[in-house]
Amino acid sequence: MNQKYMLPLAGVFLLFLLAYAGVEGVGLQWLFGIVIPYLAVIAFIYGFVNRVMCWAGSAVPFRIPTTCGQQKSFPWIKQNRIDNPDTAIGVFIRMLFEIFLFRSLFRNTKAAFNRDENNKLTYSWEIFLWLGALAFHYGFLVVTLRHLRFFLEPVPASLAFLEYLDGIVQIGLPGVFVSGIVLLAAALFLLARRIFDAKVSYISLAADYFPLFLIIGIAATGIAMRYFTKVDITGVKEFTMGLVTFHPVIPPGVGGLFYAHVLMVSVLFAYFPMSKLMHAGGIFLSPTRNMANNTRAKRHINPWNYAVDVHTYEQYEDHFREKMIEAGLPVDKEE
Amino acid sequence: MSKNVIVAGLTVFVIVALFPFWFNIGNTNAAPEAELSAKAKAAKKCVLDKYDMRANHMSLLDDWRDTVVRDSKRVYKAANGKTFGMSLSTGEDSCMGCHVDKEKFCDKCHNYVSVAPSCWECHTDPKEVTQ
Ligand code: HEM
């Protein structure tokens, strides 16, 4: 038992129960369906902008790109233009790889001592975190995009195409969407890694577990609604369209599970700007990634530099000329 | 990064985050009403209760399909005492036998929530055949 995950787990259960009991028992649909989602949207956007503006205000005194390849040098030495970019285009491509493929995570290595008498330190390539992270983020992206069908009328054809691709296995009715399953499985894998890998477990905090449990809760309630308990999707769309057209309505017959899903989503979005989830915005502002390594070609002046009173050689000579001549030292100007 | 670039990026973020709000300006929250055919109106009752039908008709169809194809049973005794032919479109007591107008009934909802059941690649809408 570890309170670092027991506490967030209990918290997510509590959120679920709060919405479920609040709706089924007390009839607080308007609170969990209307008030809290609107507040969450405001908190998300305001918090996100605020956070980024706060980061924008901090100084970046030095060029500190991390580089993983040959720097631009003599023309006969081949430069690695992406891993050690010296132009804006190189940086842009590097950022694309980073954002869409998590390239630096791909290079993740694991350090361990050999379990024999040599006890040598060895490094090995560790790909599973990258695979899990990629599956998780793309699952989340596709599920979120697909959810737009609840929020747009008419639904654009591109979304219908995405649904077609995502549902291409055509198992059961309603047909299985692969992305939802991938999202849940990947989130469970990332959780298992934090719990069972002793080294990762040691550095994991409640703030690492909470978003994981929350997302697992969201995916589990969503999957339960779609495949097992069922909700009236037409009614749900009336509800979501009500939210985005500012004429909120509560659909009849839609039960507590749906509001539990929505409450957990609302908490996730409201919590986003004040948590580690802000790495979504932070990746764009990483100075180790978004700067060109052109320190040898261009002079970068530290914005913190204040004007320094320097004593130049001329001033020095002016000061000591007579004494220098007297001592027979060479001077630039004679008199 | 320069502050201008960051502010531009944030502007894009806010516009994208609010996408459903501005996309739907002038829209209403009302779903299109699925029109019951005269025949369905006369029958009064569907296979399950109304809410169950709305939420669960795909699972019912899945059930029917498996029962017909695997067990060759074609008659369904509903909880409300009526019997139905377990068929998408064959016979007077099948889905399409009662909900005769697919466009005004099934499709109305399906277009609204963006589902495109693949059933009609093989099954026919009886109305199409007689036309
Ligand atoms: C307020 C926003 C949201 C609403 C109103 C909502 C509503 C719903 C509904 C009604 C379903 C059942 C879908 C069906 O039966 O076809 C569902 C499923 C699901 N939801 Fe949400 N949801 C929201 C946000 C999210 C978010 C942010 C996530 C996380 C990525 C998420 C993850 C899922 C998953 C994984 C499913 C399972 C089915 C699938 O793969 O589409 N939901 N949601």
Task: Please tell me the predicted confidence (pLDDT) of residue B93.
Answer: 87
Q: Which residue has the higher pLDDT, A139 or A58?
A: A139
Q: What are A212's two structure tokens?
A: 């994981």
Boundaries of every domain in chain B: 34-130
Find the mean pLDDT for residues A229-239: 94
CB B27 to CB A153 under 8 A?
Answer: yes
Mean pLDDT, residues A272-283 taken together = 95
Quote the ligand 1 centre to A144 CA distance (angstroms). 8
Residue A59 is predicted with a pLDDT of 80
Q: Is the domain of A219 the same as that of A335?
A: no
pLDDT-based confidence at residue A61 (cuts at 50, 70, 90): confident
The enclosing domain of A125 has a CATH number of: 1.20.950.20
Can you give the pLDDT at residue A301?
Answer: 84
Is the Cβ atom of A32 under 6 angstroms away from ligand 1? Answer: no
Whether A201 and A171 map to the same domain: the answer is yes
Partner-chain contact A151 B20, CB within 8 Å: yes
Of A49, A152, A238, the CB nearest to B14: A49
Higher pLDDT, A37 or B130: A37
- Rounded Cα gap, residues A271 and A48, in angstroms: 10
- Give residue A71's pLDDT: 92
Give the pLDDT confidence score for residue A62 in this predicted structure: 86
pLDDT(A260) > 70? yes
CA A219 to each of CA A144, A169, A179, A257, A274: distance values in angstroms, whole numbers, following the listed order = 11, 19, 10, 12, 22
Q: Which residues of A touch B59 (CB under 8 A)?
A: 173-174, 230
Instruction: Looking at the structure, tell me whether residues A191 and A313 fall in a common domain.
Output: no
Whether A88 and A162 map to the same domain: the answer is: yes
> How many domains are contained in chain A?
2
Minimal-distance CA residue of chain B relative to A282: B6
Q: Would the CB of A183 count as within 6 Å of ligand 1?
A: yes
Contact call for residues B39 and B100 (beta carbons, < 8 A): yes
pLDDT, mean of residues A290-304: 87
Cβ atoms A77, A70 nearer than 8 A: yes
A154 and A25, same structural domain? Answer: yes
pLDDT at B1: 60
Of B48, B127, B109, B119, nearest to B88 (Cα)? B119
Residues of chain B with pLDDT under 50: none
Task: Let me know whether A323 and A194 are in one domain.
Answer: no
Strands A109-113 and A121-125: antiparallel
Residues A300 and A319 both lie in one domain: no
Task: Tell me the best of A184, A213, A226 to mutate to test the pocket of ligand 1, counting ligand atoms within 8 Å of each CB and taking the most.
Answer: A226
Query: Are A285 and B1 inside 8 Å of each other by CB?
Result: yes
pLDDT, averaged across chain A:
93
Domain boundaries, position A35: 3-304
* Residue A190 shares a structural domain with residue A318: no
Q: How confident is the model at residue A1 (pLDDT cuts 50, 70, 90)?
A: low
For ligand 1, whether the C-beta of A144 sits within 6 Å is: yes
Helix or strand holding residue A121 (H, E): strand A121-125
**How far B130 CA sits from the closest chain A CA (Å)?**
28
Alpha-carbon dihedral angle through residues B48, A220, A147, A182, given to the nearest 10 degrees: -120
Residue B131: the pLDDT is 55
Contact B112 A249 (CB under 8 A): no
- d(CA B80, nearest CA chain A) in Å: 20
Residues of chain A found within 8 Å of residue B21, distances taken between Cβ atoms = 244
Q: Do B3 and A56 touch (CB under 8 A)?
A: yes
Number of helical (H) and strand (E) elements in chain A, helices listed first? 14, 2
Per-residue model confidence (pLDDT) at position A241? 95
| Same domain (yes/no): A197, A85 | yes
Spatial contact of A146 and A162, defined as CB atoms under 8 Å apart: yes
Same domain, A231 and A150: yes
ipTM, two decimals, is 0.90
Residues A274 and A321 in one domain: no
Average pLDDT over residues A208-234: 96
Looking at the fold, whether A285 and A327 belong to one and the same domain comes out as: no
- Amino acid code (one letter) for A26: V
